[in-house]
Amino acid sequence: MKHFFKYISAIILTAIFLVSPISVFAVHQGGAPHPPGGGGGGAPNPSYTITIDNPLKTGTGTLQDFIKLVIQDVVIPVGGVIAVIFIVYAGFMYVTAQGSEEKIKTAHRALLYAVIGTAILLGAWVISEGIAGTINQLTTP
């Protein structure tokens, strides 16, 4: 367990160091230039919208479109394939149990976890669709 914790910590620290320069290279695009020294008592510009350049070149470039694209085109298909593989593996474990109570319990547990994972995957998709629909209703006049 201690080795696992070190491994996860190393991954998280590496991710932080790789992502932190992104904010350093941020450039203000369009609009009036910001006054130097942090002064400027003007009200914020409510018509200024932030768009994200979509690396996949699909959709309109908003954050909700990007998240929807990632969930629909990456997470759901990959998760679905993994879920089917685990369900087939649990069935294989049932077949090879040959009446052994311990192996049947292990196969039952594997099938249960595969079904729970599939339910979580579908639940994430439903929640993301609900949030995207709500945001669309709130942002359209």
Selection from 128, 141, 140 nearest residue 63 by Cα: 128
Q: Could you report the per-residue pLDDT of 14-50, keeping only the tens digit for each?
A: 877 666 655 555 555 555 555 555 555 555 555 666 6
Task: Give the amino acid at 72.
Answer: Q
Mean pLDDT, the chain, whole residue set? 77
Selection from 81, 67, 57 nearest residue 135 by Cα: 67
Using alpha carbons, list the distances in angstroms from residue 83 to 60, 71, 114. Answer: 31, 16, 6
Query: How many Å apart are CA 128 and CA 122, to the nearest integer?
Result: 10
| pTM for the model | 0.53
Higher pLDDT, 25 or 124: 124
Model confidence at 68, in pLDDT bands (50, 70, 90)? confident
